[in-house]
Amino acid sequence: MNLLEEIRKIIYIKDEMLINRLFDEYHPVDIALEADELEDDELETFAHLINHENMAHLLEASEEDFSARIMAFFTDDELIDIFTHMETSIVADLLGVLSTVRRKAIFSSIKSADKVTLKMILSFDEESAGGIMTTNFIALRENLTAVEAVKKIISISPKTEIIDKIFVTDNYHRLKGIVTMRDLLVSHSDTLLSDLLEEVDFYVYGTDDQEVAANLFSKYELDILPVVNSNMAILGVITSEDIIAIIDQEHNEDMLQMHGVNADEEYDSTLFESFKSRIPWLIVNLVTAFLASSVVKGFESTISQVVVLSAAMPIVTGMGGNAGSQTLSIIITSLARGELSLKEDYKLIFKEIFLGLFEGAIIGILAAAVFVFWHHNIYLGFILFFAMILNMIIACSMGFLIPLILDKIKIDPAIASSIFLTTFTDTCGFFIFLGLATIFLPFLI
Amino acid sequence: MNLLEEIRKIIYIKDEMLINRLFDEYHPVDIALEADELEDDELETFAHLINHENMAHLLEASEEDFSARIMAFFTDDELIDIFTHMETSIVADLLGVLSTVRRKAIFSSIKSADKVTLKMILSFDEESAGGIMTTNFIALRENLTAVEAVKKIISISPKTEIIDKIFVTDNYHRLKGIVTMRDLLVSHSDTLLSDLLEEVDFYVYGTDDQEVAANLFSKYELDILPVVNSNMAILGVITSEDIIAIIDQEHNEDMLQMHGVNADEEYDSTLFESFKSRIPWLIVNLVTAFLASSVVKGFESTISQVVVLSAAMPIVTGMGGNAGSQTLSIIITSLARGELSLKEDYKLIFKEIFLGLFEGAIIGILAAAVFVFWHHNIYLGFILFFAMILNMIIACSMGFLIPLILDKIKIDPAIASSIFLTTFTDTCGFFIFLGLATIFLPFLI
């Protein structure tokens, strides 16, 4: 029996004990994934059978859509009780899923100790460092001794996940450094934290984009990153296990957006969701396609005299598109890693121009050879060869420039680059090839 | 003065103290990135000015190419001394960069205590869980008491990074569970580890692919993952900070390979490296382009009678390609996350077929309207409409099937999918559209 069947059976017999025992046997992530398949009435029964502590685990492990479905079955008071079993940063995420009215009602009933932290987290954008940090960390004053620190940590530790890195602050909550549990345990008991601490190499501001944090983790293989405010007071921390979800999300967004798909579409989205996610980009593409098509229409009289041009022209545009998207994928990947900027790396355009030249020469010669062999017309070969070179130079340099310029003017290059690129490679490709053919028409007939 | 200039100045005056002081001021990752810009003779001087401990930090933080450049400047004995300052798993990675002859020579001179671990790590594939794990972890027997355990941990801790999670084994080294430092500190001193341990929910075998480990970290937000052999003996651990590099690498590989670029090309690769990385895929694409082109050639007589077809046909193929790559990007992303398989999810093909139908209907109607308006020929509009629908159904279903089938037969779908997809959307698109036009030719003239 698989997990979903097991859940359904327990719902049918309404057995509270059995359903809560599931949480000993399965990971909440798996329970959430399966329970998302339940019908609304089944899910309601399911939700009310689970005790609040397990419900907290389930909500922590749920995707946004599923947690919205679940939370709808609870009263405000029930939710507040469930929230007491959770970390404040996750409560903040869940509040973000609720309607404004419910959010305000629940917020006003939350006990005031958590309210301050909650308010602080909610003041940050969801995709900022402050929005993804956890506030469950240990910060101690620098004038404590090692033995005092260990005592404090032991008393605090049941409430926090991270106990091996302790942040050390001055009397004004300003971050001075980090002490590891290891250093505390091996040091003399009366050593002051200020003598044990190591300076923090990296930190982010609460308002920084989550991508800034993600790139620091990737580049320097960090395990933890403190989040501070403009006075260097520590607000929270981001851990490497938290950032993995963010990195995954950013990567997948780039991958999907580059192909004109909404970042939140999943393979199992409904037909209607997928349709909504994809049709806008297809329509934008259609406009581009018509632009290219109208170039072809402009050369109808040339094509009518040398029909073989119609078989050769998609090769020029298609290969240009391929060469350009090779450059595009490199540039977008590097931009996402924060390695590249227009200002510092504009000179690399020369590399792309030469790359287009050489690629165009090789591909152009091969394509020309086939057409000369097919058509016994050497002039057609020459035209194909030169058109290929020119279009590939355009393709490679545009594949380089477009994402960098979009990035510069703060448009996500992953979303918009490929549409601009195709516009260039298609319209230029048709125009160059058919233009050359028109000029040398007497030799082709 | 930037870091590279500073390094160059120090090399010029050959100041050992200044160069080693750089390691206090800068992160080894940054020093490595900048030093990679040095000429060979500069780098040699640089390498010999740095003490072996800092050199170990530098090599740990280096990319493969750069560590190969650096290691070439040292004798085998010097390298062995540098390796003593490093974690065994990183030594294994570095040995992998050396030539077979050097690797064997160095391996035979390494002291025998490390040799066993090193041999074990080297027995695993570089991209397996065993290849990426660290062997710097603490494992204690289950019959120790909490106080004994803490004492042991304090004595071992200077040599290991991970001290907050302690693995507990039976007398045969078999993994029984995990105890956290927190639980040790708050428990009664004579409690046995066997009473404190929590079972491990997740582990991987040393031979498992690194992607299996990466997906577990992503899905369950793990902070640590034990690596075991077939007897459940613990061999090493993978930490969330280590896996970030792997996740980045896998994502970037997918992104680049989907666009026909070698996974190891960088934005600042040399012209020749980029050319080598990209030209093979362009040539493969050219073959595909000729396949499509020969379909067009087969319909030359139709086109010569209705030249406007040549302006309409790239719209059918282009839009098919776009719609197909939307599906492709979703499926490849989900496959990489291990969410999808042909066997379990084949039914989703019906969703893609309907998606193609609806997308084709909308795009087809828009495209047809424009052509009817341009050409006052309603039959051309109908042909365009139906060809668009058919080609989009093919595009969406092939965008779904191709990566799943490739995955099933153990070919990386990111590499090969888009070439197959384009082949389908281009050749089918031309064939359907020009075929329909040929059938209804009398109505078009």
Task: Specify the CATH number for the domain of residue A20.
Answer: 1.25.60.10
Q: Which of B243, B286, B359 sits opposite A278 (nearest CB)?
A: B359
Q: Least CA distance to B345: which residue of chain A?
A: A268
- Which residues of chain A does B275 touch, with a Cβ-Cβ cutoff of 8 Å? 355, 358-359
Q: Is residue B289 domain-shared with residue B361, that is, in the same domain?
A: yes
Q: Least CA distance to B158: which residue of chain A?
A: A182
**Residue B211 belongs to some domain of the structure:** yes
Q: Which residues contact B162 (CB under 8 A, 6 or more apart)?
A: B136, B137, B138, B224, B237, B239
Question: If you write DSSP's letter for every residue of B38-97 in order, what string do you get?
Answer: S-HHHHHHHHHHS-HHHHHHHHHTS-HHHHHHHHTTS-HHHHHHHHTTS-HHHHHHHHHH
Q: Is residue B301 domain-shared with residue B338, that is, in the same domain?
A: yes
Helix (H) / strand (E) element for A160: namely: none
**Residue A336 belongs to some domain of the structure:** yes
Q: Is residue B234 domain-shared with residue B340, that is, in the same domain?
A: no
Residues 285-304 of A with CB under 8 A from B: 285-286, 289-290, 292-294, 296-297, 300, 303-304
Residue A284 in contact with partner chain B when CB distance is under 8 A: no
- Please write the tens of the pLDDT for every residue from B407-439: 999 888 888 888 889 989 999 999 999 999 999
CB atoms within 10 A of CB A81: 15
Would the pLDDT of B283 be above 90? yes
Task: Specify the CATH number for the domain of residue A337.
Answer: 1.10.357.20
User: Between residues B282 and B416, which one has the greater pLDDT?
Assistant: B282
**Residue B260 belongs to some domain of the structure:** no
Q: Which of A222, A255, A266 sits opposite B255 (nearest CB)?
A: A255
Contact B331 A267 (CB under 8 A): yes
Give the distance from residue A64's alpha carbon to the nearest chain B alpha carbon, in angstroms.
15
* pLDDT computed for residue A340 by the predictor: 87
- Which residues of chain A does B407 touch, with a Cβ-Cβ cutoff of 8 Å? none
Residues 34-63 of A with CB under 8 A from B: none
Window from A126-130, A344-348, B75-79, B223-227 with minimum mean pLDDT = A344-348
Q: Cα separation of A33 and A65, whole Å?
A: 11
A&B contacts, CB < 8 Å = 305
Tell me the mean pLDDT in the region B297-326. Answer: 93
ipTM of the complex: 0.85
Q: Which of B154, B247, B252 sits opposite A248 (nearest CB)?
A: B247
Helix boundaries (H) for B346-412: 349-375, 378-408
Tell me the mean pLDDT in the region B220-224. Answer: 90
**Residue A128 belongs to some domain of the structure:** no
In this prediction, residue B445 has a pLDDT band, given cuts at 50, 70 and 90, of confident
Range of the domain at B349: 271-444
CB atoms within 10 A of CB A334: 19
Give, as one character, the DSSP assignment of residue B316: H
Q: Name the nearest CA neighbour of B224 among B213, B242, B240.
A: B240
Radius of gyration over every alpha carbon of chain A, rounded to an integer in angstroms: 30
Q: Is residue A117 domain-shared with residue A65, that is, in the same domain?
A: yes
* pLDDT computed for residue A111 by the predictor: 78
- Which residues of chain B does A310 touch, with a Cβ-Cβ cutoff of 8 Å? 296, 300, 303, 309-310, 313
Give the distance from residue B422's alpha carbon to the nearest chain A alpha carbon, in angstroms.
10
- Which residues of chain B does A261 touch, with a Cβ-Cβ cutoff of 8 Å? 326, 329-330
**Residue B132 belongs to some domain of the structure:** no
Contact A256 B329 (CB under 8 A): yes
Residues 88-127 of B with CB under 8 A from A: none
Q: Is residue A224 domain-shared with residue A314, that is, in the same domain?
A: no
Q: Is residue B220 domain-shared with residue B306, that is, in the same domain?
A: no
Q: Which of A60, A313, A322 to mutate to test the interface with B (most CBs of B within 10 A)?
A: A322
Helix axes B3-13, B16-25, angle to 10 degrees: 160
Q: Is residue A215 domain-shared with residue A305, that is, in the same domain?
A: no
Q: Is residue A144 domain-shared with residue A90, that is, in the same domain?
A: no
**Residue A254 belongs to some domain of the structure:** no
> Mean pLDDT for each 10-residue chunk of chain A (445 residues)?
89 91 92 91 93 94 91 94 90 90 89 83 92 90 92 77 83 91 83 91 94 92 93 93 89 87 86 91 92 93 93 94 93 87 88 96 95 89 96 96 92 85 93 95 87
User: Between residues B1 and B285, which one has the greater pLDDT?
Assistant: B285
Domain end among B67, B99, B123:
B123
**Residue B263 belongs to some domain of the structure:** no
Contact A56, A83 (CB under 8 A): yes
* pLDDT computed for residue B40 by the predictor: 92
In this prediction, residue B258 has a pLDDT band, given cuts at 50, 70 and 90, of confident
Give the distance from residue B78's alpha carbon to the nearest chain A alpha carbon, in angstroms.
26
Backbone angles phi, psi at B294, to 5 degrees: -70, -30
Task: Specify the CATH number for the domain of residue A164.
Answer: 3.10.580.10
Residue B282 in contact with partner chain A when CB distance is under 8 A: yes
* pLDDT computed for residue B264 by the predictor: 82
Q: Cα separation of A226 and A213, whole Å?
A: 10
Q: Is residue A153 domain-shared with residue A78, that is, in the same domain?
A: no
Window from A130-134, A375-379, B138-142, B279-283 with minimum mean pLDDT = A375-379
Domain end among A73, A92, A123:
A123
Contact A342, B274 (CB under 8 A): no
Q: Which residues contact A22 (CB under 8 A, 6 or more apart)?
A: A3, A6, A7, A10, A31
Indicate the average pLDDT of chain B. Answer: 91
- Please write the tens of the pLDDT for every residue from B368-401: 999 899 888 899 999 999 999 999 999 999 999 9
- Please write the tens of the pLDDT for every residue from B99-123: 999 998 898 888 777 788 888 999 9
Record the tokens describing residue B131, joined without a space.
């290849």
Residue type, A332: I
Window from A124-133, B64-73, B247-256 with minimum mean pLDDT = B247-256
- Please write the tens of the pLDDT for every residue from B2-35: 899 999 999 999 998 999 999 999 999 999 999 9
Q: Cα separation of A232 and A200, whole Å?
A: 11
**Residue B41 belongs to some domain of the structure:** yes
Q: Is residue B278 domain-shared with residue B394, that is, in the same domain?
A: yes
Residue A423 in contact with partner chain B when CB distance is under 8 A: no
- In degrees, rounded to 5, the angle at the alpha carbon of residue B128 between the alpha carbons of residues B126 and B134 is 80
Q: Name the nearest CA neighbour of B227 among B89, B96, B339.
A: B89
Q: Cα separation of A254 and A335, whole Å?
A: 11
* pLDDT computed for residue B170 by the predictor: 92
Record the tokens describing residue B169, joined without a space.
């084994």
Q: Is residue B392 domain-shared with residue B435, that is, in the same domain?
A: yes
* pLDDT computed for residue A159 by the predictor: 66
* pLDDT computed for residue B359 by the predictor: 95
Q: Is residue B160 domain-shared with residue B304, that is, in the same domain?
A: no
* pLDDT computed for residue B411 by the predictor: 87
Residue B325 in contact with partner chain A when CB distance is under 8 A: yes
Q: How many CA atoms lie within 13 A of A403 on its CB side?
A: 31
Would the pLDDT of B158 be above 80? no
* pLDDT computed for residue A183 by the predictor: 85
- Number of helices (H), then strands (E), belonging to chain A: the values are 24, 6
Contact A201 B251 (CB under 8 A): no
* pLDDT computed for residue A382 by the predictor: 95
Domain end among A223, A240, A257:
A240
Tell me the mean pLDDT in the region B307-320. Answer: 93
Give the distance from residue B435's alpha carbon to the nearest chain A alpha carbon, in angstroms.
15
Q: How many domains does chain A have?
A: 3
* pLDDT computed for residue B161 by the predictor: 66
Contact A300 B312 (CB under 8 A): no
Contact B254, B330 (CB under 8 A): no
Full 3-state SS string of A208-230: CEHHHHHHHHHHHCCCEEEEECC
Q: Name the nearest CA neighbour of A196 among A139, A146, A148.
A: A146
- Please write the tens of the pLDDT for every residue from B344-364: 888 899 999 999 999 999 999
* pLDDT computed for residue B266 by the predictor: 85
